[in-house]
Chains A and B, each alone.
Chain A
Amino acid sequence: MTSSAGSLTSSRSLSYVALFAALMAVFGLIPKIDLPFGVPITLQSLGVMLAGCLLGPRRGFCAVALFLLAVALGLPLLPGGRGGLGVFVGPTAGFLFGWMFGAFACGLLMRRMARLSGAALWAGAFAAALVGGILVVYAFGIAGLSWVAHMSLTQATMAMLVFIPGDLVKCALCALLVQTVMRGMPGWRLDRD
């Protein structure tokens, strides 16, 4: 149920936030390789982009935060079966925090492009996913990595560059899914707060 202003009822809000948190949890269970730095570049960043683009900045942020809360409580929802408070002090902790703000950024940008459709919507969603899912996330991640692993920012950035192509594919996939959802669910609003 929505009011005319496009705001959701409390139950709808909670349900959607929980759904995208669950999506991230499920993405984490799909096996991925643990690389030398233990960096979890996985489908989970796709979950971040989707949460931001489809739910808007506030709820996207909450979805990722809820997921991270579950991880903090000890559920092994990060790839490699990792969980617990320990992951928040490891070298990849920056990425975890980056996910929250990345979703927020995706949502902020997507809101501007809510009225697009077709190929323009795809492009807009791709751009939103790129800025939020890659730029913002990596900013936090690289900062965290260089701080914890005692690397210079340049070194950290170089180390992460190899994952960019994979993430670009995820941005494209996210854009495609946003397009599909808008086609398949006519009432869905992309301009929520």
Chain B
Amino acid sequence: MRSLYSSQSTWLHALPAWLKLASLSVGGTLLVLMNRPLPLAVVFGVVLLCFASLGPPAWRRARMLLGMAVAGALIVGFHVALGSTLLGVVSALRLASAALLALMLTLSTRFDDLLAVLEAVLHPLQRLGVPTERLALGLGLMLRFAENFHAQWQRLDDAYRVRAGHGGGFRLLAPLTIRTLQTAERVADALAARLGR
């Protein structure tokens, strides 16, 4: 599984997973509740500084945020055209801050640790018959598949490009769906062979 986790340590790696996850939860909620550009800009600045302080491991992954940067620019542009510039700026800042926070969490926290926190949080529900282990595994698989989509899209696009001379765009949606369903079947088989069910 290709992941964003960085094996090179940063100061964030040392913090316990539950703390980071709780901070992201609280941070995400706060961001949603904030509506004014100036406080949001300050928050964004702080988050950016934290991100930069992580060193090379984080800067290397900043490429992932390029998509977010483009999205932010588009949002602002759209709102400028509509005359609601402030709203656009607010949205873009929120998006950027949340993305940075999430990326910081992902690259500094082992998946297994995140799952452990989840299981601990959900444990009380086990009495009610909620299958917490399965939920944890489901979330893990979900993230794994999400990462995989981009790679599969890329491969399909390359294959299309070689034969058609240009990119596939929306035409690839159908073969991509089939391809991902087939991947899910194979992953399920591998899982079944290890779990026995």
Contact = CB atoms under 8 A, between A and B. Distances in A.
* Chain A directly contacts chain B within the complex, with at least one CB pair under 8 Å: yes
Interface of A: 1, 9-12, 14-19, 21-23, 25-26, 29, 31, 33-34, 36, 50, 66-67, 69-70, 73-76, 80-87, 90, 173, 176-177, 180-181, 184-185, 188
Given A19-B184, A34-B87, A177-B177, A86 B189 contact: no
A47 to B, nearest CB: 11
13 contacts: A10-B195, A10-B197, A15-B184, A17-B138, A21-B138, A31-B75, A66-B138, A66-B139, A82-B94, A84-B28, A176-B174, A177-B174, A184-B178
Contacts, number: 167
Contacts of A87: 32
B99 A22 contact: no
Given A16-B184, A34-B91, A70-B143, 16 more contacts: A1-B192, A16-B188, A18-B139, A19-B141, A19-B184, A22-B143, A31-B67, A66-B139, A66-B142, A81-B95, A81-B99, A82-B31, A82-B32, A177-B173, A177-B177, A188-B181
B188 A9 contact: yes
A185 to B, nearest CB: 6
B181 A74 contact: no
B46 interface: no
A25 B142 contact: yes
B138 A22 contact: no
